[in-house]
Amino acid sequence: MHIHILGICGTFMGGLAVLAKEAGHKVTGCDANVYPPMSTQLQAQGIELIEGFGPDQITLAPDLYVIGNVVSRGNPLMEEILNRGLPYMSGPQWIGENILHDRWVLAVAGTHGKTTTSSMLAWILDDAGYAPGFLIGGVPMNFGISARLSGNEAASKSAFFVIEADEYDTAFFDKRSKFVHYRTRTAILNNLEYDHADIFPDLAAIETQFHHLVRTVPGVGRLIVNGREQSLRRVLERGCWSESEWFGDDGNADWSIATDDAGNFDVLFKNALLGKVSWQLSGEHNRMNALAAIAAARHVGVPPAQAIESLGRFENVKRRMELRGVAGGIYVYDDFAHHPTAIATTVAGLRKKIGAARILAVLEPRSSTMKLGTMKEALPGSLTDADLVFGYGAPSGKDALGWSLGEALAPLGERAAAFDDLAELVRAVQAAARAGDHVLVMSNGGFGGVHQKIMDAVGGH
């Protein structure tokens, strides 16, 4: 089958393209912004990419158009598809019907930590010999790729598939969350708070979507649920038809931890010690992610002791507290954090790791929720562990803020400054930074390559 993917350069749709090609389909695609690294990754797979959404692409005559949620009414190619009555389907539906329909699907849902937890879970299964397929919204360093059909070269596919289960809507014609299409058997509900203000009016609306996911899990399935989240408790109070195990609420949870001073932690199931995770990752959020992954892996038969050992060799995900380099004695990190909760957790994790050394936080609030200003009041509180804060708001274009970043950061006083010119921000960081500092760059976009620009500046290049 020839499929043509609209919006192919997004993380999810790019992963879908790789899976479709690996499954034997002819794959082509288009997007408004065709550029590295996704463009080069796809072209290396032999996937033809077209810049833009020109209606003339119907001359490719594919058997099916697969539509990403970046596409909306008014898109010229989509309008031509509709006018001609050509076959189309959303990306999540295509994945569910063509890749996941006969797999044991392990889906990781939550406002935060989906990519890291999915990566941990895929690595645990792989290290145990399960050779899972996976589709993850980042690049796990243990694998070096974001999607694969299977890790078993001797067979057509593994019985298991790990997928990052996003609550964002499926397509312009299907406003359900993506994860309802995934035929999940093991579901991690990692956390749940308000996000995606562009499509959800309030937290209750997101809880409804999470309950739609719960409704799709069979009776022989299992839910792995964060007991610290009252929102998730409300979700399950609406009805639950599967086994459930709770983690993280040390008083009543099935799964809990005990942490030592180095950040390693004991894993307990029903208060029985199963082993100690010894690793290089930091932060309570990562320990909770790991606990959920261990619990989910146990559902498919991986002994917790094996999972604990595997996590000792887990290498994290690109853009998750990734050290991009050291220049002039200054450490520069890249992190995907963009929601205030994730920002606070990331900064606190670095603070615990480095002690009294200075943290220079460099932030670009460019997510849809942040651009709407829904979370702007929470920004100062999320940055309290940083010594200096440098905020960037694009002056125009699709990433421009509809509110004043300088005013939002004002409660931090002289510790914070806002910029609408990237070169000025880099110069300010260069002037403030000194040997031994840790520069933490946080954005869910490319941020204009600011990481390398800062390293060049402080390194004297």
From residue 25, alpha-carbon distances to 111, 314, 390 in Å are 33, 32, 46
**Contact at 8 Å (CB) between 365 and 391?**
yes
pLDDT score at 108: 97
- Could you tell me if 112 and 230 lie in one domain? yes
pLDDT score at 458: 85
For residue 184, the domain's CATH number is 3.40.1190.10
pLDDT score at 37: 65
**Which residues make beta-bridge pairs with 134?**
148, 162
- Could you tell me if 25 and 116 lie in one domain? no
pLDDT score at 35: 65
**pLDDT tens digit sequence for 198-249:** 778 889 999 999 999 999 999 999 999 999 999 999 999 999 999 999 999 7
- Could you tell me if 306 and 330 lie in one domain? no
Rg of the Cα atoms in the chain: 22
Within-domain flag for 158? yes
Q: What's the CA gap between 376 and 238, in Å, rounded?
A: 32
How many other CB atoms sit within 10 Å of the CB of residue 355? 6
Residue 55, preceding peptide bond in cis (omega within 30° of 0): no
**Contact at 8 Å (CB) between 274 and 309?**
no
Domain span at residue 39 reads 2-90
Whole-model pTM: value is: 0.79
- Could you tell me if 257 and 306 lie in one domain? yes
- Could you tell me if 274 and 337 lie in one domain? no
Q: What's the CA gap between 185 and 224, in Å, rounded?
A: 11
pLDDT score at 339: 79
Q: The tokens of 433 are what?
A: 């930074």
- Could you tell me if 299 and 196 lie in one domain? yes
Residues of the chain with pLDDT under 70: 35-37, 152-156, 250, 261, 318-319, 369, 371-372, 399, 460-461
Q: The tokens of 353 are what?
A: 């790791």
For residue 39, the domain's CATH number is 3.40.50.720
- Could you tell me if 46 and 128 lie in one domain? no
Helix axes 284-299, 304-311, angle to 10 degrees: 140
How many folded domains does the chain comprise? Answer: 3
pLDDT score at 36: 64
**Contact at 8 Å (CB) between 77 and 57?**
yes
pLDDT score at 153: 60
Within-domain flag for 95? no
Please report the DSSP string for 61-96 in residue order: --SEEEE-TT--TT-HHHHHHHHHT--EEEHHHHHH
